[in-house]
Amino acid sequence: MTAHLPFVYIGRDAQNGEELWVSDGSQAGTKLLKDIWPGAHGSDIGNMTRLPDGRVLFTAADPVHGNELWVTDGTESGTEMLYDVNDGSGSFGPVYVTPLSDGRVVFEGQNSASGREIWVTDGTRDGTHVLMEITPGAEGTDFNAPWVALPDGKFQFSYWTPGADGRAISRTMISDGTPGGTVDLSGFLPAGSSRPVVLGEQLLFFSPEGMTLTDGTAEGTHQFDQFWGRDNLALLGSIGEGMALVKATVFDAYQGSGNYTDAISYYATNGAETHLIATTDIARTTGNPLDLGAGKFLLPTTVDGEFRLIVTDGSEAGTKIVATGSEAWTTNYISLGDGRAIYSKADAGGHPTLWLVDGDGQTALLGEGDAVPTSLSTQYVQHLSDGTTVFAAQTAEGSAVLWQTDGTAEGTHQLPVSNPWLPPVLRDFEVMEVGAIPTTPPPEDPSGPGTPSDPALPHHEWATDNALFDAAFYLDHNPDVAAVGADPLQHFLQFGAAEGRDPNSHFDVSFYLNQNPDILAAGVNALEHYMTSGWHEGRAASFSFDGDAYLAANDDVAKAGMNPLEHYLHFGEAEHRDAPQATPHATGPQNVLVDASFYFSNYADVAREGVDPTQHFMVSGWQEGRDPNAFFDTNWYLAHNTDVATAQVNPLEHYLRFGAEEGRDPSAVFDGEAYLAHNPDVAAAGMNPLEHYLQYGAAEGRDIFAA
């Protein structure tokens, strides 16, 4: 079976960087869709979401607008920016992109008028606007945690607000996008409540105090005790008819040598009713639960030393052991979304094989003599509307490839897709009969944000005595200076630089000083330092301008020996030359579990300011619910370790000093005890499991296991 439905994916090559590609499953039908950021820069594509009319909404960056909202119908002409949400050229684009049940898509957007707030789009320019201002004015709102779509066009979101003691507290809301349809759940929920599971028209939350089932009203909110008394609980998702799957872990059942007795139990619950599904007596050594879709889960378990693979819909009749012994041992499952899964393993002769598992048992799909996908990537999976699943795998040489399956041997094959770049976010196009997307701005709305489709070049007034001081920019961004009629350059030299005010659109005083602590310690004017020696030394002017990269891309400027920022602002901008974004770097000793690249990539505000990641996380980041790396979830750790939350200590420091040794997991996606059990060399060395994985294990291809 070959796919004929086009899908778009993220591809990468040396000429275009990371861009959007399109494929119909054939070599001839696979091509670069559009080079959104011309050249090898790449356009940072993400947040792809299918619209009801078959088009795909996504975020991407270009050199003029920065990271913005785009849409595509699978053709080059139909791939264009939908709306310039952020009225600057910054890198902060839409986040928390969440498709709703009524076809709308909500997201967090930012502009100068309202700061960060909730936006909505229906896929048209007129239908893209601020939906709700939680915090009126330009200050904006600090949202946290992924948003959850609910029935009837509603969604659940959370945001931080100052508490009475000055510490930030999280408020949880349900909304249909109108003031009258927005309900604050914070008064109903205990502190430390988990991200919810949707059960029909209701939400189920866990907290250290018990379970809360709510429909968003006080009378429809009910509290239930967690009577099974487990140390660690995790909501895995919805299962069967109106039930949630719960994983309960007992840490005090440790027997030594990586063994546990009755260490993990799986329950189905709706709050009022709870029953046991299965128990495994050796924790975290047989893989992770997998949502198969269609209300079913795959549970790898071990009973009396024997591996058992269970498929369950949460009921006694719908819970079956489908494999035992060596046939049940693998961690490489991919859900097909219809109650089935595939997995790869080696046969007795060491040849790779591919198997299908469902509620009735296992079926061999591919074996010796067949082309078999190996090292399946369980993270990068997309179900297409023709009933097939596309997933990523690796070749023996380590290259990324894409495969497609319909759950049969004949319908399982490698796609001739060029340059898949993990994660390959895939979307299919079911409906192509759509009209042209409006390209003219909507009528001006005095109450909403306005967005020009092709903004004119900014007006500059360069100071006679300083080629990088833009008087027009300075007065426009500092109305207090303009109001008193002060000379802008003199104000900047005497006060503005010390106050962190910026002299032009592409020099950021705070970023420059944060990235160069030696300059900060010297107490010199940041702009003057950059002009006299900083650019020669390769120091970036701001997050939005990397001088070395500009010179590398513009040989004529480099040969002329010009200051790259001066050339760009005076000439390059008008010539439509690219302003390359800088890559901020850590400026001090890093905590072993703070991943600077991760921190900068996920927190654009920190990257824009150039603040050292470890310094930021240790001082304020953890209190704001930020994560230091991809495998340590600050909010999750505090929610699952109430003693740490009550003590108000830094959760990362607690994990490093005590938590790992006590068997506490850093997040739902990393099980430290399982990692040590599968890597006895790490256990013997007495290393922190997450520290080892981040420093060595990931590069060595070692497996990780969900908590």
Which pLDDT tens digit goes with each residue over 259-271?
444 567 888 988 7
**Rg, C-alpha atoms of the chain:** 27
CA 70 centroid distance within chain: 18
Tokens of 34: 């559009």
Question: According to the per-residue pLDDT averaged within each range, which of 365-374, 398-407, 443-452, 484-493 is highest?
Answer: 484-493
- Residues 6+ away with beta carbon under 8 Å from 685: 692
pLDDT of residue 79: 94
Which pLDDT tens digit goes with each residue over 498-514?
999 999 999 999 999 99
- Comparing 93-97, 336-340, 536-540, 566-570, which segment has the lowest mean pLDDT? 93-97
Longest dimension (CA), the chain: 84
What whole-number percentage of the chain has pLDDT above 70?
A: 85
Does residue 331 register a pLDDT over 80? no
Alpha helices in 3-92 (DSSP H): none
Does residue 340 register a pLDDT over 70? yes
Distance CA 98, CA 107 (A): 6
pLDDT of residue 607: 86
Question: According to the per-residue pLDDT averaged within each range, which of 206-210, 250-254, 323-327 is highest?
Answer: 323-327
For the chain, what percentages of helix, strand and coil (3-state, to nearest 5) are there? 20, 35, 45
Banded model confidence at residue 424, pLDDT cuts 50, 70, 90: very low
Enumerate long-range contacts of 317-322, CB under 8 Å, 24 or more apart.
Answer: 318/240, 318/359, 319/277, 319/278, 320/359, 320/360, 322/357, 322/358, 322/359, 322/360, 322/361, 322/362
What whole-number percentage of the chain has pLDDT above 90?
A: 35
Does residue 375 register a pLDDT over 80? no
Which pLDDT tens digit goes with each residue over 11-39?
777 778 788 888 877 777 788 889 998 88
Banded model confidence at residue 515, pLDDT cuts 50, 70, 90: very high
Banded model confidence at residue 459, pLDDT cuts 50, 70, 90: confident
- Residue with the bigger pLDDT between 350 and 124: it is 124
Q: What is the mean pLDDT of the chain?
A: 82
Q: Which residue has the tokens 């310039």?
A: 84
**Mind giving me the DSSP string for 586-616?**
--SPPPTT--HHHHHHH-HHHHHHT--HHHH
Which pLDDT tens digit goes with each residue over 76-95?
999 999 999 987 655 578 98
Does residue 662 register a pLDDT over 50? yes
Give me the residues paired with residue 143 across strands: 159
Tokens of 28: 């001839």
Does residue 685 register a pLDDT over 60? yes
Does residue 445 register a pLDDT over 60? no
pLDDT of residue 251: 53
- In 3-state terms, what secondary structure has residue 26? coil
pLDDT of residue 5: 63
pLDDT of residue 611: 92
**Mind giving me the DSSP string for 173-241?**
EEESSSSTTEEE-TTTSPTTPPPPEEETTEEEEEETTEEEEESSSSTTEEEE--TT--SEEEEEEEETT
Cα–Cα distances (Å) from 261 to 256, 308, 689, 707, in that order, read: 10, 15, 22, 17
Give me the residue spans of the domains in the chain: 471-575, 614-700
Q: Which of 488, 565, 569 is nearest to 527 (CA)?
A: 565
Q: Which residue has the tokens 């030393």?
A: 305
pTM over 0.75: no
Tokens of 233: 């609980």
Banded model confidence at residue 397, pLDDT cuts 50, 70, 90: low
